[in-house]
Structure 1
Amino acid sequence: MKSSGLFPFMMLLALGTLALWAVEGSGKSFKAGVCPPKKSAKCLRYEKPQCQSDWQCLGKKRCCPDICGIKCLDPVDTPSPTRRKPGRCPPAYGQCMMLNPPNYCEMDGQCERDLKCCMGMCGKSCVSPVKA
C-alpha cells in the first residue's frame, strides 16, 4: 500500500525536474543585449565560473566571459548593424558541453581591427578570418 503513495510523489518530482530543464535549456527565450566586450588584459588568477547560462544570473544580467572567468554582467545594447568584415569564419570543431554558452560578440562590428564574430566550439567570439 505504501508504494501507491510513492508513485504520485515520484511523478511530481520528475515533472518538476523536466520543467526546470526546459526553462534552462530553452533556446527560444533570451535576455536583451549582449555581453560587454572582453577587455584585453592578463589575468593573474582565474576564478571559478559564477554561471553557465544567462538564466543563472539575476535580473537582466547575462552570463559573460570576463578577464579572469565567467561572471554575471550587465549587458550592453546590441550595436546597430555594420558592414560585414571581409573573409570567412574558420570552421568550428568539437561540441560545447555547456548549455547556452556565452557569446563574446554578436556581430563583426563588435570585434577589434579585422577580427570577425564567428561561431566557435562554445559560443561566438572574435577571431581572425580565413581569407576568402
Structure 2
Amino acid sequence: MLTWNPGLLLYFIFFFSNIKKTKLMRIISGDSHFVKAGLCPLPAEKPSDQGISRCNWDEDCANAMKCCPTILGRQCMLPDPIICPDKSIADRTCLTNLDCPANRQCYQFVCCPGVPNGIKSGKCPVLVVPEGWKIVHDNKCQEDSDCPGSRKCCPTLLGKRCLIPI
C-alpha cells in the first residue's frame, strides 16, 4: 500500500526543480529550518522510510554536510555544490540579502560573494523552440548590463533581447 510521505515529496521537489527549490521547500513544509546550499546526491534506489535516520534537518549535520535521504534512511552527506557566478561554491541558501553574511549577496537563492557587475537579479523566461524552428542570431544585447533598468539580456527565437525577468 502506497502511503503519503511528505519528506519524499520534498526530496523529489528539491532534486528535480531548479535553484528556486529551496524557497519552494520552505513554503511547502512551513518550517524555518536552515537549508544548506548544495544538492543531495540522488540515491541509487528509492529512499527508505524504514531506515534509521541519523539526522532530520541540514542543521543536524556538521559543517557543509546536508541531511539527505538514502536507501538506509536520512544521513549527513557532502552535497553536490552549487556554483556562484564568480565560480566559487555557494555556502548557504537565502531568500534575501538579509539571509547572507555581510560579505555575500543573495543571488538566485544562494549566498554568493557579491554579484558580478553586469549580472542582474531574476531569471530569463524559458525559451521554447518549436520543432523545425531555426533560431535567428540577431542579438540586440550581449549581457545584462546592455539592458535598461532591471531588464536582462535573454535568448529569444530572434536572438538575444532585453526582457523583463521572471
TM-score, normalising length from structure 1? 0.36
Higher helix share: 1
TM-score, normalising length from structure 2? 0.29
